[in-house]
Amino acid sequence: MNTPPKDRRIVVVEDNSAMRTGMVESLYREGFTVKGFDNGGDALAYLDRCRGGVPLVIADLKMEPVDGLEILRRVKSASPRTEVLMVSAFGTVEAAVESMKSGAADFLTKPFSSEELRIRVRRIFEKIEREETLANLAEQNRMLQDDIAMQYDEMVGSSSAMRRIFELIEQVAGEDTTILIEGESGTGKELVARAIHRMSLRAARPFVRVNCGALNDNLLESELFGHEKGAFTGAIRQRKGRFELADGGSLFLDEVGDISGSMQVKLLRVLQEKEFERVGGEETLSTDVRVIAATHRDLSKLVMEQRFRDDLYYRLRIIPIKLPSLRERKEDIPALVEHFLRKLAVRKNMPPKTISPEGLDLLQKYTWPGNIRELENLMERLHVISPGPAISTQLIARHLAEPSRPTVLSSDHLPLEDAVSAFERTLILEALKAADGVKNQAARALGIKTSTLYSKMERLGLL
């Protein structure tokens, strides 16, 4: 005898007293909880009181005043997951077909034996169990996808390039080795680092970020290792560094390719020895962090030029992850656009704005030097300045002019603020190119502070 599922309830509706009693007793001995009714009205009233319905209703086809087909229709309308087994002494093909079309699970012709009834009922409950199993698997899969979505945060994309990145993240997250994330500015290196941390065994511990390229040597050393009171002018109290704050968790070293040679030596030591001293201190402190480094620069080229230590390079690059640029995954642009517009709509508590297929085509033809950050900033700009719910193709075209084109500044249709931004972007990109991507050098060439350069690059979507 098969074991019925947890919900063992069956309702039998049969106006023949002997037949009804026989079915109830037979199914009761099979282990089901069975309730019998001699008319459809009472049965439907009982079913209305059963929240969520019962797994199975067995109904006679010919009854007065409510027949089996009416019971079938009303049961399926109120509880689509409830199965109905129709029985009848008038076992015509037409009756069976009509019953099945109306949603019956099976049709049984009288007279039938107790064993035949039990076989049909067992088959129906096996079907119910299979559907429940599939529904549970679907729900588990949905929850898993939600979990993955939470883990990947805003990493949107289904291109082959991004699928490889997702697979690699899942492969390496559980390990505890150092990771180097390489890719152009704006490709989402920090998002990858955060996803790795959230999927790792260190997820419950801190994720700490340091932008190495935005700080000079003295500030970076104090930021990483901390300092003692009086270590330098302005050090009015002891301060813990990021290696201490990230203990047990993950430390994300962004733009690690911009650090100086002397800082490379100090970073190599803490990676190898797992220990350091605060600036101005004598006590050696130990640390347990997983280092995830990132750079937009070609470190292998810097190693060849002897501008980056090869031993530090190999220590950082135990597991390399190379992120594709947006122009290498343009098929993801529609999904990214939808994601950013939906996020903006939630933030502003309004329906999301839309972009026509022609507008999306323009976005996919653009080269995106600032990658995903530039796309996100553009979507926010268009969301704000678009007067209606649909962002026009013309508006997109006006704001997609390449920064290197001289027509950007001479266009009669470009607002002054956008023209200034385009000019700023052009100068910054040229300075970065001349400085081989080194932001400190580019800032000096532009006559501004490195922190100001970072602020402008973030505003312009170049980070």
pLDDT of residue 418: 60
Model pLDDT, residue 149: 46
Place of tokens 């190495």: 212
Token pair of 136 as six digits: 């549970």
Which has more confidence, 147 or 438? 438
pLDDT digits (tens, 9 = 90+) for 187-244: 999 999 999 999 999 999 999 999 998 888 889 999 999 999 888 887 788 889 999 9
Whether residue 144 has pLDDT greater than 90:
no
Confidence of residue 12 (pLDDT cuts 50, 70, 90): very high
The winner for highest mean pLDDT among 100-114, 295-309, 404-418 is 295-309
Distance of CA 221 to the CA centre of its chain: 35
Inform me whether the pLDDT recorded for 324 exceeds 60. yes
335's enclosing H/E stretch is: helix 333-348
The closest of 218, 207, 195, 213 to 249, measured between CA atoms, is 207
Q: Is 295 within 8 Å of 336 (Cβ atoms)? A: no
Q: Is the pLDDT of residue 434 over 70?
A: yes
| Predicted confidence (pLDDT) at residue 134 exceeds the cutoff of 80 | no
Distance CA 149, CA 160 (A): 17
| Residues 254, 306 contacting (CB under 8 angstroms) | no
Instruction: Dump pLDDT digits (tens) for 271-288.
Output: 999 999 999 998 999 999
Backbone angles phi, psi at 298, to 5 degrees: -90, 95
- Mean pLDDT, the chain, rounded, equals 86
Q: Residue 137's pLDDT band (boundaries 50, 70, 90)? A: low
Please report the sign of the dihedral spanned by the C-alpha atoms of residue 245, residue 250, residue 254, residue 258: positive
Question: What is residue 3's predicted lDDT score, i.e. its pLDDT?
Answer: 42
- The band of 136, judged by pLDDT with boundaries at 50, 70 and 90, is low
Q: Give the pLDDT score at 411.
A: 38
Of 317, 316, 336, which is closest to residue 326 (Cα–Cα)?
336
Lowest mean pLDDT among 270-284, 306-320, 414-428: 414-428
pLDDT at residue number 153? 58
368: left (phi over 0), alpha (psi -120 to 50) or beta: left
Following CA atoms 394, 400, 406, 407 in sequence, which dihedral angle do they give, to the nearest 10 degrees?
0
% of the chain surpassing 70 pLDDT: 89
| 41: exposed, middle or buried (Cβ count in 10 Å: 0-12, 13-18, 19+) | middle
pLDDT band at 298 (very low <50, low <70, confident <90, very high): very high
Chain centre to alpha carbon of residue 275: 36
Of 442, 30, 383, the closest CA to residue 22 belongs to 30
The whole-angstrom separation of Cα 461 and Cα 58 is 66
Rounded-to-integer distance, Cα 12 and Cα 39, Å: 10
Mean pLDDT of the 36-56 span: 88
pLDDT of residue 146: 47
- Close Cβ partners of 137 (under 8 Å, ≥ 6 residues apart): none
Q: So what's the pLDDT on residue 195?
A: 93
**Average pLDDT value for residue range 324-337:** 93
